Structure 1
Amino acid sequence: MTSVVNTAPSLAQVDVTALKGVGGQLAEKLAKIHIHSIQDLLFHLPLRYMDRTRVTPIGGVQPMASVVIEGEIRASDVVFGRRRSLMCRLQDGTGVISLRFFHFTAAQKKRLVPGARLRCFGEARRGASGLELYHPEYDFLDGSSPPPLESRLTPVYPATEGITQQRLRNLTEQALELMGSHTLQELIPDDAWKREAYPLSEALAFLHHPPKDAPIDELLLGTHPYQQRLAFEELLAHHLSMLRVRQKIQAEGAQPLPTPQRLLDRFQQQLGFKLTGAQQRVADEIAADLSQPFPMLRLVQGDVGSGKTVVAALAALQAVGNGLQAAIMAPTEILAEQHRKSFTQWLEPLGIRVGWLSGKQKVAERRQQLAEIVSGEAQVIVGTHALFQDDVEFADLGLTIIDEQHRFGVHQRLALREKARDKRRSHQLIMTATPIPRTLAMSAYADLDCSIIDELPPGRTPVSTVAISNERRHEVVERVRAACLEGRQAYWVCTLIEESEALEAQAAEAVAQSLTESLADIRVGLVHGRLKAADKEQQMELFKAGELQLLVATTVIEVGVDVPNASLMIIENPERLGLAQLHQLRGRVGRGSAASHCVLLYGSPLSQYSRERLKVMRETNDGFVIAEKDLELRGPGEVLGTRQTGEVNFRLADLQRDGFLLPRIKEVAGHIMSTHPEVVEALISRWLGSSENYASV
């Protein structure tokens, strides 16, 4: 096997200040884009490329194309429109194009005169006088032989204020020269992955300096073999960072929790329904994890209505049956309240005390709950993010259950696990009703084992979905009236573009008022995020009891609401929501035996993008199909909520494009962890730098 250790100077250790022209000030600016060493600079890869290797006839220039053109100035004038600009008309015998300069000097104006010959580079845009180049780069063609064109494609790098593209290109040139005298380590061992004809130094040299005949379409799409070589290594580094987090956590140990069979049997006997095969299979996987002497780290995915809560209750009982506490955290008050009711109904007949913590509790109630939690009197504690606040202490926390993980940051779920006594790790179960595409699950949740509840309980009816323009709103209102008068119930969901509870509440109130006037014979309720918890609960209880026939709501009802008699849902402006959120909302109906319907009441005109998304909703009820389409349309950052999770900011890799590499990456990562642990740190540092995913926890 080829050794991966080399005694020659490594570019990872050579500071960027070793380059000519890099002093303290420039080094600070480079640090803003995570460039500290020569290796960092080499792995700061181009975003795209410009082709300056050939001259395009002016008559062949297309809008939005970046081109090199040559020609003679036929007219040059200062023009006064909304902004003063210098306008030059350039001609080459095939056509005419305008050069426009909003910022220009007297010297420029003096030289850019009729008769001057120029070579220009810029992006062609449609303007008032036809195609124009705004502020093009240009050289004068004064001599008989014009200067040579570029011999390679020109890279365009991610940059920051104060660093020009030319400066980055010059620094990269120097870094590439240093590759000859220093070591750029091949960190993937030969026995883990055959690199074939793509050494790392060769791939980097090509991507920084593609020859003029390089397949530019492949480079722009990211599918060139050299890009795939680097994407593989980046995804591998990311995967290794997640596995190392898992390894660190599991090395600390946890209390094994043997299955309390008698308690679980009593629970299932009083449930009133039988678990589905999928629920039983996932419950058995969780039970096996909990019986181990290291922390369970398991993600349970289940489509809307698949019955994850019962599986969570069985896990909580395994903790309680071994004398430990279980905590269940939900992202919204409504979902947390729903869990509290379910767990209280199921567990209190077994003599198990259910505690409750939310952000909207009164001081006295919160103080009492905190006392019951720290004393151990509360054995199962349900709550919102209030559970991981500093003043919450558990008597002996053995299991944490996080529902709708994507709503929380990674650090938040880890913070809750820290609540275990003596810093011993608690077991952790993550649940989501938002199916995660396989490629994302393999990447973003590589530190977790994954279970899928892929079967719905009997009696659930598929929801038929239609899209109707808001211009036919009156027809939809009449449809709601007819459904309610037939004894069924309906939801009317209001959405806003602005993420503001106050504005959403106003919109929902206005719609509720309008529908109350239009449907005088129908009892209309209202729920939104600004209502007091007691008022919200009262409205939900009245709706569940059938006292209200139509519930107007914001997206707060997305999860945790279960009213079997509700069989019609209207979603206003569905084009403003992601597919996963639409699917969650639709999951509030179809929970009984009546035929159920969802109406997507969209605003006209619809963009092609919105049209595609609504088409997916009409065609399938399968959450995993919807999740894959959501990934395709919105990208991994949006689907996972990058602002919170932060772990899908890849430099080169693309989970959609490169997802096919992940099974092989999983194999290689496992091999490296077990046989070459010495390269793990270097690989992670090369690609993730100081931003390794929650590595400090």
Structure 2
Amino acid sequence: MLSVSAKPVPITELKGVGTALALKLERLGLETIQDLLLHLPLRYQDRTRVLPIGSLRPGDEGVIVGHIAASDITYGRRKALMCRVQDGTGSITLRFFHFSAAQKNSLAQGKRIRCFGEARPGPASLEMVHPEYKVIADEGSVRVDDALTPVYPLTEGLTQGRIRGLVEQALGWLDKGIVEDLLPDNLRQQWQLPELTESIRYLHQPPVAADQEQMLEGKHPAQQRLAFEELLAHHLSLLKIRQKVQEQGAPLLKATGKLSLPFIASLPFELTQAQRRVAREVARDMTLPVPMLRLVQGDVGSGKTVVAALAAIQALENGAQAAVMAPTEILAEQHYNNFSAWLEPLGVSVAWLAGKVKGKQRARELERIANGEAQLAVGTHALFQEEVRFHNLAVVVVDEQHRFGVHQRLSLREKGCNGEQTPHQLIMTATPIPRTLTMSAYADLDCSIIDELPPGRTPVNTVVIADGRRDEVIARVRSACSEGRQAYWVCTLIEESEALQCQAAEVTAESLRETLPELRIGLVHGRLKAAEKAQIMASFKAAELDLLVATTVIEVGVDVPNASLMIIENPERLGLAQLHQLRGRVGRGSVESFCVLMYHAPLSQQGRERLAVMRESTDGFRIAEKDLELRGPGEVLGTRQTGMMQFRIADLQRDAHLLPRVKRAAADIEQAPALMDALIRRWLGQGEAYARV
């Protein structure tokens, strides 16, 4: 086995790095020479050859050599020094806005000059603005670089020249074994991965013959070697979370059927094959002495709540408690109503804990949870609070996991059976997560997918229409509601301000009341008190309202089978996953349902692509893949995972093909704790803090 003894060398060991420069480098996360060697270029400049001026096109970057044909100061909107440079094939203008008298004198007519810069269109001809330049004294050959020039990510007070000089020094340390190749030889040979030091050197000083296009796309073998190792380190850090969670052990919960069989028999529908399969996977996990850590994904309306109920019931059958947690009071209250209706007839006592539960009622619920009288507790993140004590918590169900942080979820461990055993954890999401992200962001969880909708559910027809046809859309709402159906009208605003969003919803509701006086119109938004919001939602569910105007607060957890039409204003401002969630509020009954995406023209190319995907597909996983492609992993996962998703070199979309190999490699390296820790330390450093549980 490899030794993992290469010690971090402080960056101050490099010549010229004092306290001030070390602080600037620290802003880039560079504290050791090893960090600096893994601080890779964003791109490269080709200074290895001289380009004829006549060959330059707008956007070209390169070295040119020529004579100054004219040098003048112009006084337009800004004073500028303009130098006309010719080389026999063409001419170009050099423009300097900041210059000294000495500079002006050195750039006199007749001087020979070598420049590096980007050619841009100017008023009369191509220009280079503030190029790097050197006045050449003789007519001899011009010295050019013998390797591509790296361009690094910078921070304020650092120049490219300074960081290139430091990297050059750092490369001298490579031969001293400062960066150890942590990947075992057999693994490198299996995947034909180049050596680490060879890859690092190549990427900082690529030879002239390097395939620049391949390097710009991040697909060069040297880049792929480092991306593989970085993805592996992230994967291992998540496996470490899993190991730590499972160290404490969990209660063994046998499925007796005492409550589950009467529960299934009481349901007014048959479970789908997919629900049965996932329920079996969950039940099997809970019979083991290690905590279940399972993610259940299922598209909107696939029946995840029934699977969650069966998991909770398995705890209750063993005389233990279960907890169900949701991110919003609307969703939590809906779960409370469902679980109460299902389980109280079976003699199960259900507690309810959310922000709006206050005073004596709260004290009573806390007491019932603590003494075990309440066998099931349903609530929001209020269940995380320190004052909440469970009698013997054995199973935790977390709905819409991406809304909670890893730490919040893991803090429930302390609330397990007497603090000695970790509760089993079932994580549910109706936001389909692309396979790529599941393999990387949720590597600490086993994954089950409910990939079948219950019979009788009708796919939602999606229509994309410009807001110039608003009158037609309003007529469609009138028609649907006159037939006894109900509709949603969702208002979105690009502004982050919740106050402005609510104001827009209020204005829309008022306008629709004037246009559709015959309809009963309700309004729900984030600034309403929880009790008001719940009352309006209950009225809508009871068909006392025809049309509900809302902000995106109705994204999750609203189930009104009679609602068959949804209008979403400005859908181009929302992510695809959020649009898919909203659309899932209709089509919950047996009648044909429609979702109208009413956009504001003109649409960007990306906007057109996104709405086209919504129109063409109701497959949440396909939509999620497209969302990942268009918006990137940080956006798709939300803030929950962003700290984790800040890769230095790897790119989840570009490098998705590496993930199956990473998973297999991680299974081997997991058996070598010292090596596992060294890889995590190299790539995550202090960023590993999120994994400390």
Q: TM-score under structure 2 normalisation?
A: 0.96
Partner of 1:119: 114
Q: Distance in 1 between matches of 2:215 and 2:320?
A: 55
**2:120 counterpart letter in structure 1:** R
2:322–2:394: 8 Å Cα contact kept in structure 1? yes
2:94–2:130: 8 Å Cα contact kept in structure 1? yes
Q: Distance in 1 between matches of 2:531 and 2:279?
A: 34
Q: Distance in 1 between matches of 2:405 and 2:61?
A: 41
1:67-466 paired onto structure 2 within 5 Å: 67-194=62-189, 196=192, 198-420=194-416, 421-422=418-419, 424-466=421-463
Q: Distance in 2 between matches of 1:280 and 1:13?
A: 52
2:65–2:114: 8 Å Cα contact kept in structure 1? yes
* 2:691 partner SS: coil
Partner of 1:563: 560
Q: Distance in 1 between matches of 2:382 and 2:54?
A: 66
1:46–1:157: 8 Å Cα contact kept in structure 2? yes
Per-residue CA deviation, residues 348-375 of structure 1 (Å, 9 max, x unaligned), is 1122222222223334433332232222
Partner of 1:598: 595
Residue of 490, 497, 500 corresponding to 1:500: 497
Q: Distance in 2 between matches of 1:486 and 1:268?
A: 35
* 1:305 partner SS: coil
**2:134 counterpart letter in structure 1:** D
Q: Distance in 2 between matches of 1:260 and 1:645?
A: 41
Partner of 1:585: 582
Partner of 1:483: 480
Q: Distance in 1 between matches of 2:312 and 2:442?
A: 22
Residue ranges of structure 2 left out of the alignment (5+ in a row): none
* 1:650 partner SS: coil
Q: Judging changes above 3 Å, is the alpha-carbon distance between structure 1 residues 321 and 141 closer, same or farther for their aligned structure 2 residues?
A: same
Q: Residue 644 of structure 1: CA displacement? A: 4.8
2:400–2:431: 8 Å Cα contact kept in structure 1? yes
* 2:117 partner SS: strand
1:508–1:554: 8 Å Cα contact kept in structure 2? yes
Q: Residue 514 of structure 1: CA displacement? A: 0.8
2:193–2:221: 8 Å Cα contact kept in structure 1? no
Q: Judging changes above 3 Å, is the alpha-carbon distance between structure 1 residues 337 and 90 closer, same or farther for their aligned structure 2 residues?
A: farther
Larger deviation, residues 556-565 vs 43-52: 43-52
Q: Residue 314 of structure 1: CA displacement? A: 0.8
2:406–2:640: 8 Å Cα contact kept in structure 1? no
Per-residue CA deviation, residues 634-657 of structure 1 (Å, 9 max, x unaligned), is 111111124654211111111111
Partner of 1:682: 678
Q: Distance in 1 between matches of 2:193 and 2:254?
A: 52
Q: Residue 340 of structure 1: CA displacement? A: 1.3
Per-residue CA deviation, residues 506-550 of structure 1 (Å, 9 max, x unaligned), is 010111111111112222111111111121112111211112111
Q: Residue 211 of structure 1: CA displacement? A: 0.7
Q: Residue 235 of structure 1: CA displacement? A: 0.9
* 2:258 partner SS: helix
Larger deviation, residues 611-620 vs 106-115: 106-115
**2:483 counterpart letter in structure 1:** E
Q: Distance in 2 between matches of 1:514 and 1:21?
A: 67
Residue ranges of structure 1 left out of the alignment (5+ in a row): none
Q: Residue 249 of structure 1: CA displacement? A: 1.3
* 1:72 partner SS: strand
* 1:316 partner SS: helix
Q: Residue 556 of structure 1: CA displacement? A: 0.6
Q: Residue 570 of structure 1: CA displacement? A: 0.7
2:506 is aligned with 1:509? yes
2:322–2:375: 8 Å Cα contact kept in structure 1? yes
The percent identity for this pair of structures is 64
Larger deviation, residues 119-128 vs 496-505: 119-128
**2:320 counterpart letter in structure 1:** L
Q: Judging changes above 3 Å, is the alpha-carbon distance between structure 1 residues 282 and 197 closer, same or farther for their aligned structure 2 residues?
A: closer
Partner of 1:628: 625
Q: TM-score under structure 1 normalisation?
A: 0.95
Q: Residue 29 of structure 1: CA displacement? A: 2.5
Larger deviation, residues 518-527 vs 140-149: 140-149
Larger deviation, residues 171-180 vs 60-69: 60-69
Q: Distance in 2 between matches of 1:96 and 1:423?
A: 79
Partner of 1:470: 467
Per-residue CA deviation, residues 612-651 of structure 1 (Å, 9 max, x unaligned), is 0001001110001111111111111111124654211111
Per-residue CA deviation, residues 577-629 of structure 1 (Å, 9 max, x unaligned), is 01100100110111111111111100000000000000100111000111111
2:248–2:420: 8 Å Cα contact kept in structure 1? no
Q: Distance in 1 between matches of 2:528 and 2:77?
A: 49
Q: Residue 317 of structure 1: CA displacement? A: 1.2
Q: Judging changes above 3 Å, is the alpha-carbon distance between structure 1 residues 240 and 594 closer, same or farther for their aligned structure 2 residues?
A: same
Q: Tell me how many residue pairs correspond in the alignment.
A: 691
Partner of 1:23: 18
Q: Distance in 2 between matches of 1:327 and 1:113?
A: 80
Q: Residue 559 of structure 1: CA displacement? A: 0.8
* 2:119 partner SS: strand
**1:523 counterpart letter in structure 2:** R
Per-residue CA deviation, residues 142-201 of structure 1 (Å, 9 max, x unaligned), is 222254111111111222222222222111112212222335322111233416471111
Q: Distance in 2 between matches of 1:119 and 1:643?
A: 51
Q: Judging changes above 3 Å, is the alpha-carbon distance between structure 1 residues 550 and 199 closer, same or farther for their aligned structure 2 residues?
A: same
Q: Distance in 2 between matches of 1:643 and 1:78?
A: 55
Q: Residue 396 of structure 1: CA displacement? A: 2.2
Q: Distance in 2 between matches of 1:537 and 1:690?
A: 43
Partner of 2:608: 611
Q: Distance in 1 between matches of 2:471 and 2:295?
A: 44
2:11–2:33: 8 Å Cα contact kept in structure 1? yes
Q: Distance in 1 between matches of 2:100 and 2:552?
A: 55
2:564 is aligned with 1:575? no
Q: Distance in 1 between matches of 2:378 and 2:93?
A: 67
Q: Distance in 2 between matches of 1:217 and 1:551?
A: 53
Partner of 1:663: 660
2:291–2:422: 8 Å Cα contact kept in structure 1? yes
**2:321 counterpart letter in structure 1:** Q
Q: Distance in 2 between matches of 1:670 and 1:53?
A: 44
**1:97 counterpart letter in structure 2:** I
Q: Judging changes above 3 Å, is the alpha-carbon distance between structure 1 residues 193 and 323 closer, same or farther for their aligned structure 2 residues?
A: farther
* 2:158 partner SS: coil
Q: Distance in 2 between matches of 1:80 and 1:314?
A: 79
1:6–1:183: 8 Å Cα contact kept in structure 2? no
